[in-house]
Amino acid sequence: MLTIPLLPIRGGCSIIASKDDRPITGLFATMMIELPESRYPRMLHSCRIDTGACCSGWSRRRADKLGLLRADDMEVELSTRTASGAVELRRVRIGIRQMRIPQLRDEPFRWPVAFHPDWSEDAPFLLGLLGVIEDIRLNFDGTPGESFDYGRVTLSLRESGS
């Protein structure tokens, strides 16, 4: 089991008051992952859990530098909804990649990833829900507590068949 604090996304308009008077527009959690198929298989990478995303998403430029792009990745048109509600179509490459969460288990998971050509190289890896929720149970608890000002998310392995 792995417990990660939820952190605020600040800016924009929000009805949620924050401690320093800047509005909180959302919450996120960041964890560290390894990418066993990359040029640096044991290097830890920051990964943001994004429950609003179906598929995990990475910068195509960053993935290329890490040696994660493959010739057999499919190029598809992906529709995404923006914060304003508009739907945008983007051409992305999609493939299955190994990700390891060292604090959760030794073996890597295999999940789909969309490689976005328009994302900056320093954009965080986003962990979407496609494939992930088959392997991992995510429990969000917004109750503030000691060392968890905005709540926490707990990740635990799903037992097969649950």
Spell out the domain ranges in the chain. Answer: 2-157
**pLDDT tens-digit profile of 28-44?**
888 999 999 999 999 99
Q: Kindly report the average pLDDT of the chain as a whole number.
A: 84
At 142 the pLDDT is 85
**pLDDT tens-digit profile of 70-90?**
999 999 987 776 666 777 778
Determine the average pLDDT of the residues in 126-147. Answer: 88
Residue with token string 């089991």: 1
At 123 the pLDDT is 87
C-alpha 134, offset from chain centre? 15
Q: Which segments of the chain are extended strands (E)? A: 2-5, 7-10, 24-34, 44-49, 56-59, 74-81, 87-99, 109-116, 125-127, 136-141, 152-157
Q: Which of 2-6, 41-45, 56-60, 79-83 has the lowest mean pLDDT?
A: 79-83
Q: Which amino acid is at 64?
A: D
CATH number of 2-157: 2.40.70.10
